[in-house]
Structure 1
């Protein structure tokens, strides 16, 4: 495929013995590419160490411990503990590693201790199916990401934590003072976590029941009671009324660390549930949650939104002519083209198959048309080498709708999808808004 842009945003450097690579390389790569990462294989320790040293430290580094035995088996009196020690000494200490080991190795606790105390990100036992291994590696990529903003709504007085440090960790805390209007604030903000002090709970014990019984309440939202002092009777009542967890608030620094740990788990769960595995973009579930929250924010701040639905032209023909694997490449290249041109506050989703959705924040319809048409032209300029010497270009069509003309995520999608249909019927490779602001071009 022509072009200098790397197709895969993530990479794995894999140290393994040669026969493992020979038997598994093709299948591992096939699975990895579907998850938007590539694998570089090594069977010489020195080459692997050099590659790790030169890497930008945003890859995953996988070591098959059996490779050490096979590489060094000609050394007399060599013991695996010493060989592992030599490896750990040679690997850069500012990176973290994933180790594969046999069941026998996994049964040795001292070996596990040595690994986890020496920059071990994770370890796994073999035999492990190639698709399972790739899925686990993808999950590790997700966990290492800095992650999206996690929003917290707090009812009660701040506990004295370092708010600047929490903001630096992508934690946004919004304070509220009235328990009788908390449900309205939560509806507007759509926070991931709600914190309520014991004083506010004692003041209005129905506050959690009101939050939980709303049919539109997020079932995974965590509602936590903050206790200034231990009170088992109050804690039991709180849990019975619907609180998900209890935290002590007498140590503000400890509370902040616990909150950051919870935020990390929320990001991981959000990514695993709400992200498309092949492209890393929002999936249908993730888009619906984020789009509705963005619409609520637009209503609060009186900002416009532009909602676009995109579909690759003649995608069935692409699959039928060059195969589904090549079709996956076209989808990934489109996802990279779109993602590189998103701005702060925008949303981007692979809605399903070859269909994508963009939401442009603070963007009126005419500006949205210009932005989406620029994306159409950028994708059309990409050269795909379908076979040596045979270069093709592909296109997409799009439809646009605007908020506040459409008031909900579903209404905006249906309006934009109707305009996409018009674009397809009108000859493809074009963008149709609900009301065309400018003359269309090819």
Structure 2
């Protein structure tokens, strides 16, 4: 199945002399491929170390400790059993590793201490089922991707915080001065975290209740009270009022570290809630939030948006003829084709099944239709090997709507979906758009 882009964006490099996973290798690979990553197996230390050293660090590296009993030191110093200490010394120090171990090994605290002090990203115990291992590996891939901007609304003065340094780590502080309009500001900005100083809370203790009782409030958004000095009674009252946490702001450096840790957890939670696991794209939940934010920004800056809905043609026939695993590959290849052509501010979502949604920033209806048609042509040109020496090409149909012709995310979707239906009725493999 030749292609300019790799089929799987992420890889897990595994060092193991014998296959260690409960069940079998082919099933493990099948699960991994559905999550859009591949697994490469190594049974020699030298080859594994060389592959890790050449890698850019975006992949995962898993080591089966049981394999050390059978694996020999193949580094040019004779053939003998490899010791754990030797392996740890040879592993590139600028990467982190996942260690897989038996329950007996897991019960030895000193071994755990040695592992976590040796560039350990995570460790797990065997036996572990394929689907469980793949799900845990996927979560680790999510944790490594921490680029999304996290917005923090701050009510009150917090001295000493380095806003510029936080912004470099993709955490934006947004200062607000009036407690009586904070709920309006939060509704406009949709921050990921809200911080309220103890002095502002003293002015009106209804702040957090007003924020939390709004039926449209984000249920996963945290609101934290910042205290200048420990006050257990105040902290208990704040938690009873609805604050999720109480943080000490006496030490700005400590507070910055806490904010960075919280930002990382927020990114992980947003990815797990808002992204499709098979493709890594936004899902319905993630698209709705991002599209609403983009519409608000377009309204503020007076820019147009083009909103496209596409659907793979005759996808049921693809599944029925070549199997669901092949259908999954078609979906992944389409996601790679679409993602490679999008701008920095554009959005791409796997809306469900074989249906995708694209939102083009600063783009008119006609320009959106042209962009989507170019993507259609690119996908149609991809050769799929459905059997030995048997090549097929597939297509998709699409519909386009535009902001401000349609004002809300729901109106945009309904209009674009109606245009998609028109494209399907018109013979498929085409894009329809109408204001």
TM-score by length of 1: 0.94
CA offsets per residue over residues 284-308 of structure 1, 9 Å max, x none? 1111122222222322333322211
Count of aligned positions:
432
Segments of structure 1 that go 5 or more residues without pairing to the other structure are 436-442
Correspondence for 2:14: 14
- The question of whether the paired residues in 1 share the 8 Å contact of 2:22 and 2:130 is answered with no
Equivalent residue, structure 2, for 1:235: 235
Matches within 5 A, 1:52-131: 52-72=52-72, 83-131=83-131
Distance 1:155 1:165 in 2: 20
Distance in 2 (alpha carbons) for counterparts of 1:434 and 1:246: 52
**Measured at CA, do residues 39 and 19 of structure 1 come closer, stay the same or move farther in structure 2, by a change above 3 Å?**
closer
Q: Partners of 1:188 and 1:306 in 2: how far apart?
A: 22
Could you say what secondary structure the match of 1:71 adopts?
Answer: coil
The offset of 1:364, in angstroms, is 2.1
Could you tell me which residue of structure 2 aligns to residue 440 of structure 1? none
> C-alpha separation between the residues in 1 aligned to 2:364 and 2:236?
51
Query: Which aligned pairs between 1:272-351 and structure 2 lie closer than 5 A?
Result: 272-351=272-351
Q: State the Cα distance separating 1:22 from its structure 2 match.
A: 11
Query: Aligned with 2:132: secondary structure?
Result: helix
Q: Aligned-pair distance for 1:21?
A: 7.7
Alpha-carbon offset, residue 154 of structure 1: 1.2
CA distance in 2, matches of 1:303, 1:425: 32
Matches within 5 A, 1:30-429: 30-72=30-72, 83-429=83-429
Does the aligned pair in 2 maintain the 1:189–1:297 contact within 8 Å?
A: no
User: What is the alpha-carbon distance in structure 2 between the residues aligned to residue 153 and residue 300 of structure 1?
Assistant: 19
Kept after mapping to 2: 8 A contact 1:189/1:296: no
Q: Post-superposition shift, 1:338?
A: 0.9
Contact 1:201–1:207 (CA under 8 A) maintained in structure 2:
yes
Segment of structure 1 superposing worse, 175-184 or 17-26: 17-26
Contact in 2 for aligned 1:10/1:59 (Cα 8 Å)? yes
Aligned mates of 2:172, 2:19 — CA distance in 1: 50
Cα distance in 1, alignment partners of residues 159 and 414 from structure 2: 45
Gaps of 5+ in 2: none
**In 2, Cα distance between the equivalents of 1:93 and 1:369?**
49
Q: Matched residues in 2 for 1:324 and 1:368: separation?
A: 31
